[in-house]
Chain A
């Protein structure tokens, strides 16, 4: 078994009398996208703050490439590219100047600095607006610049705290296309925290974090398989009558919500033709099936609901 790139072992953090992280352990393998999924206040940002040395821990260890390192140590920080949850850009400066300052902080030589900034401006599609003040940028552009800034020193692992908060669907998808490209082209590992199931679905492995504890850690598909049943939503003209037919003919337990019939059943795709067959012809206006998403799995395993954020 290969040594994980980053390992967090038995991390415990107190805030006053409150234990906000309870012996949290996880690891990120080389080239892996690992996500911590949990609601706000579950301890995700605290974990990252300790990793960056911005918060003290009561106990716990960090290992980078198998070697023990201190949270926030310069050696660890040099290997990490960090995208903060809050903006960390100078709004009065241009995109190029922001990257220039970060490159200088990491002492990139002049020529390399110039080339790297050009490369990152292109990567983040900001080359045409490179000299414009950041305060004029949209939320999506700022996030792209944050990502570019975190890559300036060619880190081994990207640590991202809620990287797509506040982005619309288009920007969300573009961000993830970029991240997947980064992983593919550079073999970059990514550690991220999120409260969005649709974001966690992009990860290779996910750790569910609830009340400062890691509840489970697995691949999205394995986790999804822990909740049985597909969700079927049927829109039709007279739901009450249809519900009675479905109960008597197919022994199902339909629920009527907002004029729509909802069902949970195993192997939903085989059920759909039978439903269409037993209901009066022409009564169904639409029928769709969804697999349980990671939010449903999280609720099932922790009893806690993730905050909804529509994209």
Chain B
């Protein structure tokens, strides 16, 4: 395997996704405005009724802020990988499949491209952190970037594997509606885990997205408000997110290299 060939494929796909994102003004405006509207509307609507036992002073806009950051990388992963279905049969990916780089390089290039788009949107949204009551200096940027990077690579490769495996936009939309979006809602992004509801708390504990949200949420606090995370420790978050990333990478590689 020639490393230079692999890097050529990775860099072309990476650059392509970034370039496509940055050159469409309508997409840029939508990408930056949509999370702000979403955060302000839902945050503003629920702030008066939202209370967490033990952290009553926490307002909903602040609680919801890390969840919106993760939503951005999830949505970028979904919309960035659903295009793979058409692209591999009637688009540019056909020419990548016959190029010297391997299919694993194709997975990685696409994952990095889609992740970068998600990260740009997330970073732009993070500029609003003071509006949620966080100061820039109080944020643990290294931890935040680490979880966002791993989380977006995990979600992009997971989305990529799904798209390649399903090979149907309708099926992908169905999975998005019944697994990916509910997965984000049940990740602690919108509401914290409720241990009284056994089924729901079990689903939230098994959901890898919960640990991405937890890891991101921890970056905003020196002392985390009680009851706001699914896991008990940063180490758990770290291990689950690394595990999810590895699983997604392996799965995507297996799906893409085995399929013809």
Q: Which residues does chain A contribute within 8 Å of B12, judged by CB atoms? A: 101, 104-105
Would A88 and B95 count as touching, CB distance under 8 A? yes
User: Per DSSP, are chain A's interface residues mostly helix, strand or loop, or mixed?
Assistant: loop
Partner of B96, one of A52, A86, A92, A105: A105
Would A107 and B100 count as touching, CB distance under 8 A? yes
Contacting chain B: which of A4-12, A53-61, A255-263, A276-284? A53-61
Rounded to whole angstroms, the CA-CA distance of A82 and B98 in the bound complex is 8
Would B100 and A106 count as touching, CB distance under 8 A? yes
Answer whether A105 and B97 are a contact pair too, CB < 8 Å, given A55-B260, A87-B90: no
Would B100 and A77 count as touching, CB distance under 8 A? yes
Would B16 and A101 count as touching, CB distance under 8 A? yes
Partner of B92, one of A77, A101, A107: A101
Answer whether A105 and B94 are a contact pair too, CB < 8 Å, given A54-B260, A90-B16: no
Would A78 and B89 count as touching, CB distance under 8 A? no
Shortest beta-carbon distance from A31 to chain B in Å? 23
Rounded to whole angstroms, the CA-CA distance of A102 and B101 in the bound complex is 12
- Nearest opposing residue in chain B for A87, CB measure: B90
Would B100 and A78 count as touching, CB distance under 8 A? yes
A63 contacts the other chain (Cβ, under 8 Å)?
no
- Nearest opposing residue in chain B for A76, CB measure: B98
Q: Which residues does chain B contribute within 8 Å of A90, judged by CB atoms? A: 16, 20, 91-92
Our count of residue pairs bridging A and B at CB distance below 8 angstroms stands at 70
Partner of B100, one of A54, A74, A86: A74
Rounded to whole angstroms, the CA-CA distance of A86 and B89 in the bound complex is 7
A84 contacts the other chain (Cβ, under 8 Å)?
yes
Would B100 and A104 count as touching, CB distance under 8 A? no
B9 contacts the other chain (Cβ, under 8 Å)?
yes
Rounded to whole angstroms, the CA-CA distance of A3 and B19 in the bound complex is 46
B4 contacts the other chain (Cβ, under 8 Å)?
yes
B8 contacts the other chain (Cβ, under 8 Å)?
yes
Give 12 A-B pairs besides A105-B99, A149-B95 with Cβ atoms closer than 8 angstroms: A54-B97, A84-B95, A86-B89, A88-B90, A88-B92, A90-B91, A101-B92, A102-B95, A102-B99, A105-B95, A106-B100, A107-B4
Can you report 25 A-B residue pairs in the complex whose CB atoms are below 8 A from each other? A49-B260, A52-B98, A53-B98, A54-B97, A54-B260, A77-B100, A82-B95, A82-B98, A84-B95, A86-B89, A87-B90, A88-B90, A88-B91, A88-B92, A90-B91, A91-B91, A101-B92, A102-B99, A104-B11, A105-B96, A105-B99, A105-B101, A106-B99, A107-B4, A107-B100
